[in-house]
Amino acid sequence: MSLLITQVQVTIEEMPPNDNYNGYRDYRDWFPYQSFRPHQEEMLDRVQEVACSGEHRVLAIDAPTGSGKTSVIAPLLANRGGNKIVVALRTVSQIGVYLGEIKKIKRETGHSPSVAYLVGKHKMCKLSGEFDNVYAGCDLMKVFTMDVLEAKLNETMRRNNRSAQEYNVYDPETDPEIATEIADESPGYRTFCPYYLHSKEAYTNEGAKNFRPSKQAINDSKAILQEILYPEELRKRCTRTCPYEVMAISAKKADVVILNYNHVFDDAMRDALFDWLEINPENTILLVDEAHNLGDTVRSINSDTITLHVVEKAISEVNQVTGEKNRIVARSAGNILSRISTYMEKTRNRWQGRKQGEDWFDPGMFADFVFAGGGLARDDSQSIADLLKLAQNIKKQKQKSSESAEVFLERVSEFLFMLHLARRDSSYLPVKSMSDDQWLTLAIRSLDPSPVIAGIADTVHATILISGTLSPAAAYELYYFGKNGRVEILSIPNQFPKEKRLVLGAKNATTQSSYRNNPSNQRELELHISALIEGVLGNVAIYFTSYSMMDQYFDHCRRAAQESGKILYTEPKDARDVPDILKRFFESGSSDKKGVLLAVCGGKMSEGIDYYGEALKGAIVVGFPLAAFSEVQKLVNSYYQRKYGRDQGLFIAYTLPAVNKAIQALGRVHRSADETGVLVLCDSRFSRGGGLGVRQYLPQWMQDEMIICDGTWSRELVQGW
Ligand code: SF4
């Protein structure tokens, strides 16, 4: 009988892939729904084909909300072969969507995909409530805990009279005294992390002391691989071990590993993390969620900033350096730091009275000033290398004396390293900026994400980029990969019924600078705004191009809100106040007193928030949300114009982000097929093609459905809808 079972199992496992689908392993068997949405099958077929053939292919899917794009995980799982699927998320909020989809696959199809994730340490850490900064706090706790483990291992060897050359193990699970020591610790004043302690064991190997996952952590990781747990459930499940460590062990065996953008697109972090999780990039299928954010996020990951506060902290670290050898380097580091501080103070004083603003600074002049003590034979690279080495020594000293793991000299040194790059490479832009009339920041901004993104795509087995607003996709391809023809593009039509939306484009109104103060133009803008506030019987959002424009139209919006019996909500300055305002705005949507939200396109409330159901019944983008045409923006534009030519370069650097901000903001209204709403593109540039017009860059459904109207007709259309 057992022989028969074995033979049957072998037969099933060795079955060739279903050749009904050109030799691919048919994902329909992994698809957890009764039927496909329109175009979904076509999308999943393409994903299947790319995942199977590999060859570093890249597929970009532009699929509006409602297309069922999370289901791309099914063909990836069905066809991953020996590859691991790495899902890169921009925000931790998306993790539930993927876990939910994989859970459904497990429940509905009988397959057992395993998943691990390393996102949102603040949600996973058992001690998160005890730290201001969970990452820094955890780093320090781990160092302390390793010291405890090592001391315990030494004690075990001494007690058993054994040498380090022999094999010794200290496993906290078998230590009868450890429970008392843990109980003696006070929250907020711990000398080690009990969960990390139970996740590790220390051992000797040929005289060297090492650490490895404890049996308890391995058992926990095996258990959680059997099921799919949300972060809160995982936290509860790991009663003695660290959920983050347990997840990291699981990740080595999991079919799918969910990470954040930084883990994947920060070169240093990726190398370390992939190594730790035993992920071979060449055997990875990369799925990038919300890919319209990828370029800007990669640029930000590869940029660096310092403030006066950071420099002052670094000076204080250097002043505390001990040891004769270190003192010599510390003296020269102190000189460099104080010159940076002088440069920043002078810049700040020169900018007093200028509340906001940013400008380019010359990296050569900055380096001449900062490294001035080096004389003719100065060697900036060597000075930076010395600073980085000193920063490492300070880090070790801090860890020994139980201070925070953050080393400010390291941040300054890395900034100087980037500045050094910026002297030769125009894709790094040095920028000084001022906020609130007093805070000066020096930044080296990375302008071009394409070397990083293309480099990763050229390494992994295959890459799938998905987004609801990747329009126009060919421009994103150029921005992300530096050339056209590298990416296969699939654009899916909007699946929501067109009867559920009214799309209006302003005929004349514009926020173009030459018309901004023109009274009849202002009147037109106001008419469009009033038409939405007064005509829509529900919550509406008014998205402006800037905070100053929001102030300019504030009184008008308040009057219109009052006349229609609605409550006015305004995007707060402080991001911490957003949840409270959103909560009240959402409640308004289901009450008699509807709400009007004033916010900024590309601000805190126009992207990444799901305004479900009654929360939003209409939105208007007032003006075309171009970035301010500052000196810095001009330099960004020139970089891209040099790279891609005058028109294409300007489009990528300047116009594309504005188009995306507008589409994102209006995309808040329809989050499911049964929702209705009014969308207004209130700038004549949206309504026109050619010249300054951008209509041809909008998603096809928007172009097709847009009714071009003036403010008066806008009111009639909204009221009659
Ligand atoms: S080791 Fe785990 S439980 Fe301990 S502080 Fe770090 S994340 Fe938190």
Dist. CA 141–CA 617, nearest whole Å: 48
SS3 504: strand
Dist. CA 670–CA 139, nearest whole Å: 42
Dist. CA 505–CA 707, nearest whole Å: 6
Give the other-Cβ count within 10 Å of 162's Cβ. Answer: 13
Ligand 1 atom at shortest distance from the alpha carbon of 124? 7
pLDDT of residue 318: 92
Distance 126 CA to ligand 1 centre (A): 6
Q: Read off the DSSP letter of residue 654.
A: I
For residues 668 and 609, the answer to whether their CB atoms sit within 8 Å is yes
pLDDT of residue 325: 75
Give the other-Cβ count within 10 Å of 549's Cβ. Answer: 18
Q: Taking residues 87-96, what's their average pLDDT?
A: 88
Q: Taking residues 380-392, what's their average pLDDT?
A: 91
For residues 617 and 590, the answer to whether their CB atoms sit within 8 Å is no
Q: Read off the DSSP letter of residue 657.
A: H
- In the chain, % of residues over pLDDT 90: 74
Dist. CA 370–CA 430, nearest whole Å: 15
SS3 223: helix
Check pLDDT > 60 for residue 376.
Answer: no
Check pLDDT > 60 for residue 1.
Answer: no
pLDDT of residue 11: 32
Three-class HEC string of 172-186:
HHHCCCHHHHHHCCC
The number of helix segments (H) and strand segments (E) in the chain equals: 31, 21
Q: Taking residues 562-585, what's their average pLDDT?
A: 93
Tell me the two tokens of residue 719.
């009221």
SS3 352: coil
pLDDT of residue 19: 40
Kindly indicate the confidence band of residue 196, based on its pLDDT and cuts at 50, 70 and 90. very high
Kindly indicate the confidence band of residue 190, based on its pLDDT and cuts at 50, 70 and 90. very high
pLDDT of residue 352: 73
For residues 464 and 86, the answer to whether their CB atoms sit within 8 Å is no
For residues 527 and 711, the answer to whether their CB atoms sit within 8 Å is yes
Kindly indicate the confidence band of residue 644, based on its pLDDT and cuts at 50, 70 and 90. very high
Question: 140, 196, 220: which to mutate for ligand 1, most atoms within 8 A of CB?
Answer: 196
pLDDT of residue 401: 66
**57 within ligand 1 shell (Cβ under 6 A):** no
Check pLDDT > 60 for residue 15.
Answer: no
Distance 125 CA to ligand 1 centre (A): 5
SS3 445: strand
**330 within ligand 1 shell (Cβ under 6 A):** no
- Phi and psi torsions of 236, nearest 5°: -70, -40
Task: Identify the CA nearest to 416 among candidates 359, 371, 357.
Answer: 371
SS3 202: strand
Task: Identify the CA nearest to 258 among candidates 236, 230, 293.
Answer: 230
Q: Taking residues 491-517, what's their average pLDDT?
A: 91
Alpha helices in 230-379 (DSSP H): 231-237, 243-253, 261-265, 267-276, 294-301, 308-319, 324-350, 363-370
List all residues 6 or more positions away from 629 whose beta carbon is below 8 Å from its beta carbon: none
- Phi and psi torsions of 641, nearest 5°: -70, -35
Dist. CA 311–CA 247, nearest whole Å: 37
pLDDT of residue 405: 67
Taken in order of first residue, the domains within the chain and their CATH numbers are 1-97+260-296+460-495 (3.40.50.300), 121-254 (no CATH), 304-378+408-446 (1.10.275), 498-720 (3.40.50.300)
β-strands 200-205, 169-170 pairing: antiparallel
Give the other-Cβ count within 10 Å of 520's Cβ. Answer: 9
Tell me the two tokens of residue 413.
């040194």
**122 within ligand 1 shell (Cβ under 6 A):** no
What is the per-residue pLDDT across 137-180, written as a single tens digit (0 to 9) for each? 898 899 899 999 999 999 999 999 999 999 999 999 999 999 99
Report the mean per-residue pLDDT for the chain: 90
**198 within ligand 1 shell (Cβ under 6 A):** no
Ligand 1 atom at shortest distance from the alpha carbon of 243? 2
Give the other-Cβ count within 10 Å of 10's Cβ. Answer: 10
**138 within ligand 1 shell (Cβ under 6 A):** yes
Check pLDDT > 60 for residue 6.
Answer: no
Edge-to-edge order in the sheet of strand 677-682: 567-570, 595-600, 540-544, 618-622, 677-682, 501-506, 707-709
Beta bridge partners of 204: 209
Distance 395 CA to ligand 1 centre (A): 20
Tokens 């939003």 identify what position?
616
Distance 196 CA to ligand 1 centre (A): 6
Distance 624 CA to ligand 1 centre (A): 46
Distance 200 CA to ligand 1 centre (A): 12
Q: Taking residues 15-36, what's their average pLDDT?
A: 71
**234 within ligand 1 shell (Cβ under 6 A):** no
Q: Kindly calculate the radius of gyration of the chain based on its CA atoms and give it in whole angstroms.
A: 29
- Phi and psi torsions of 245, nearest 5°: -65, -40
DSSP codes joined into one string, 538-576: S-EEEEESSHHHHHHTHHHHHHHHHHTT-EEEE--SSGG
What is the per-residue pLDDT across 419-451, written as a single tens digit (0 to 9) for each? 999 999 999 999 999 877 668 899 999 999 999
Check pLDDT > 80 for residue 640.
Answer: yes
Distance 135 CA to ligand 1 centre (A): 9
Distance 470 CA to ligand 1 centre (A): 38
pLDDT of residue 7: 33
Dist. CA 296–CA 302, nearest whole Å: 10
What is the per-residue pLDDT across 226-279, written as a single tens digit (0 to 9) for each? 889 999 899 999 999 999 999 999 999 999 999 999 999 999 899 999 999 999
For residues 154 and 146, the answer to whether their CB atoms sit within 8 Å is no
pLDDT of residue 20: 42
**193 within ligand 1 shell (Cβ under 6 A):** yes
β-strands 501-506, 707-709 pairing: parallel
Dist. CA 525–CA 553, nearest whole Å: 9
Question: 134, 148, 193: which to mutate for ligand 1, most atoms within 8 A of CB?
Answer: 193
Give the other-Cβ count within 10 Å of 625's Cβ. Answer: 26
Higher local confidence (pLDDT), 707 or 372: 707
Ligand 1 atom at shortest distance from the alpha carbon of 126? 3
Distance 637 CA to ligand 1 centre (A): 44
DSSP codes joined into one string, 670-714: -SSTT--EEEEEESHHHH--STT--GGGS-HHHHHHPEEE-HHHH
**465 within ligand 1 shell (Cβ under 6 A):** no
SS3 22: coil
DSSP codes joined into one string, 369-406: HHTGGG-TT--HHHHHHHHHHHHHHHHHHHHHTT--S-
List all residues 6 or more positions away from 593 whose beta carbon is below 8 Å from its beta carbon: 565, 566, 567
Ligand 1 atom at shortest distance from the alpha carbon of 131? 5
Task: Identify the CA nearest to 86 among candidates 253, 259, 247.
Answer: 259
ipTM higher than 0.95? Answer: yes
SS3 116: strand
What is the per-residue pLDDT across 303-358, written as a single tens digit (0 to 9) for each? 999 999 999 999 999 998 887 777 888 888 999 999 999 999 998 888 776 656 88
pLDDT of residue 4: 33
Residue nearest to atom 5 of ligand 1 (CA): 138
- In the chain, % of residues over pLDDT 70: 94
What is the per-residue pLDDT across 538-560, written as a single tens digit (0 to 9) for each? 999 999 999 999 999 999 999 99
CA distances (Å), origin 342, targets 257, 339, 558: 47, 5, 47
Choice among 288-297, 528-537, 602-611 with the minimum mean pLDDT: 602-611
List all residues 6 or more positions away from 325 whose beta carbon is below 8 Å from its beta carbon: none
**200 within ligand 1 shell (Cβ under 6 A):** no
pLDDT of residue 135: 87
Kindly indicate the confidence band of residue 582, based on its pLDDT and cuts at 50, 70 and 90. very high
Tell me the two tokens of residue 508.
């004349």
